[in-house]
Amino acid sequence: MNSKLTRKFALGVAAAAVSLGGMLATPASAQSTLKVVMHSDLKIVDPIWTTAYMSRNYGYMVYDTLFAMDEKLNILPQMVGDYKISGDKLTYTFTLRDGLKWHDGKPVTSADAIASIKRWGSKDSMGQMLMKFTKEMKAVNDGTFQLILNEPFGLVLMALAKPSSNVPFMMPERIANTPSKDQISEYIGSGPFVFKDKEWKPGDKAIFAKFNDYKSRSETSSWASGAKQANFDRVEWISIKDHQTAVNAIMAGEIDFIESPPTDLLPLLKDDNGVTVKNLNPLGLQYMFRLNHLHPPFNDIKARRAALAAINQEDFLKATIGNPEYYKVCGAMFICGTPLATNKGADIVLKSDFKLAKKLLAESSYDGRPIVIMQSTDVDSLNNLGPVAASLLKKAGFKIDLQAMDWQTLVSRRSKRETPDKNGWNVFMTAWTAADILNPIMAAGFNAGCDKAWFGWPCDAEMEALRDKFARETDLKEQAILAEKIQVRAMEVVTHAHAGQWYRPSAWRANLTGVLSGPAPFFWNVARK
């Protein structure tokens, strides 16, 4: 261990001793409680209302899905026991597994599934496309329902198995009937853990208890598919703001798992024989640069193009990840190393061109008012994105209003359509796991459906026509051609910009077994030796 890290560690030990004394105390036995530090605090407990990954991670604890994707991207039944597809590929008949229960003890029914699909389908980009092709959904009986299409849509099962935000989690009908623009107020699922909302303390901890009536599948676990066995009575998500303190705590055995330790502290963890460090998401993540199309200046395509010309991936990656071992410059909006990867049209984000940026900005309607850039301050992999964006856009000629806030506040504020001077925004940056952006239907950033689009609300009929063609296309070669056209169009109209691909290992105590890979952290099947 180098001297710098040694000094940092020594100082951090004292801090950990002070800050963790009360936080980690629990009446539960060591064997029955799993203590976890997640990448952010949990504040929003409606995984359909937001795409925030903390809410998705919470969703996987509490809810289950009709289908799930395994590590080889195969789509497998999860809550569904049997299903049939008609010869004309218009009618999908789904039969739920026997014995599925909600956390309140009531049985899971077809009506619950239909209402859940509808709510998710009104919010999620892929769900919206599925609903576009759907004629009706109807219950055959309490355990069987049908999804009937207007015309064939080859992504039905992929949509229902969507592995990341927004995941089509199943909820009781009365809860799923909550409009997707509103947050739910009951937190009842059918997943392996029960959310203890009465013990939830935002900013401190979130508690989950084993659901004893969960009916697991028997198949081998892979990503979110197969068996889900809760081996701990309680899982505690503990909020520790200081990363050094969290690292010291796991090395001391006071916590069991850190979802996303910062890159600069990984050497400490790798040097500790009591800790396992592994990347559970081999395809990694991708940064996104997102502009608000509703308000000046980015309602003007030339201003958006000016911003695109100003940025470059390398600056974002160096400032946030730092170590090239954990990042790559990548022109592919659909992730390098995947079937739809292409660099076509992406040169503009790989190198800053301030001369071009200034020219485009001068030709735009930009009037010199400061643009509001929202900066996350409490997620280490996101915190430096805002300042880098501010610096690059300032060099292009924009005036900047960089506003700092915690990530969950940013997540709430980005949904606001108000003008920037009234608590709205112009720019924010986020990160998507690769599983969210494998194709233009799944990836929310490409939705250019105006009011139905993801935050930023781009509006482009040509993009929507291309996405519609992709959704109908079954030939893989033709899909690749369309994906390339979609990427080029995304760069032309600036739905968003991809700001680099990166990787973040997780860390856990070496005495844990059953830790699964996947697009999200999963805590079923995890056990202590």
- pLDDT, tens digit (0-9, with 9 covering 90-100), for 441-456: 999 999 999 999 999 9
pLDDT digit string, tens, across residues 205-230: 999 999 999 999 999 999 999 999 99
Residue 13 has pLDDT above 60, yes or no: no
CA dist 414 and 80 (Å) reads 35
CA 522 to chain centre: 14
pLDDT score for 492: 98
Structural element, H or E, at residue 193: strand 193-195
Give domain limits for the chain.
4-8+29-44+192-281+505-528, 67-176, 285-502
pLDDT in tens, 14-39: 444 434 544 554 444 444 999 999 99
* Mean pLDDT value across residues 378-401: 97
Nearest CA among 2, 505, 18, 34 for reference residue 245? 18
Q: What is the pLDDT of residue 474?
A: 86
3-state secondary structure of 337: coil
Looking at domain 67-176, its CATH class is alpha beta
Mean pLDDT of 407-420: 96
Domain 4-8+29-44+192-281+505-528 sits in which CATH superfamily? Answer: Periplasmic binding protein-like II (3.40.190.10)
Question: What Cα–Cα distance (Å) separates residue 14 from each residue in 10, 257, 290?
Answer: 7, 20, 40
Ramachandran angles phi, psi of 430, nearest 5°:
-145, -175
Helix and strand totals (H; E) in the chain: 15, 21
Task: Give pTM, 2 decimals.
Answer: 0.88
Write down the pLDDT at residue 24. Answer: 53
What percentage of the chain carries pLDDT values higher than 90? 93
Question: In which band, very low, low, confident or very high, does the pLDDT at 11 lie, cut at 50, 70 and 90?
Answer: very low
| Best CATH choice for the domain 285-502 from the list 3.40.50.620, 3.20.20.70, 1.25.40.10, 3.10.105.10 | 3.10.105.10
List CB contacts of 318: < 8 A, sequence separation 6 or more: none
Ramachandran category for residue 441: left, alpha or beta (phi over 0 → left; psi -120 to 50 → alpha): alpha
Q: Tell me: the pLDDT tens digits for 461-499?
A: 999 999 999 999 989 999 999 999 999 999 999 999 999
Tokens of 195: 């959310």
pLDDT of residue 90: 97
Q: What percent of the chain has pLDDT over 70?
A: 94
* 393 — pLDDT class (breaks 50, 70, 90): very high
Look at residue 516 and tell me whether its pLDDT is greater than 60.
Answer: yes
Beta bridge partners of 201: 205
Distances in Å between the alpha carbon of 446 and those of 33, 34, 88, 188, 461?
Answer: 41, 38, 30, 32, 12
**For residue 459, which of 341, 281, 291, 269 has the smallest C-alpha distance?**
291
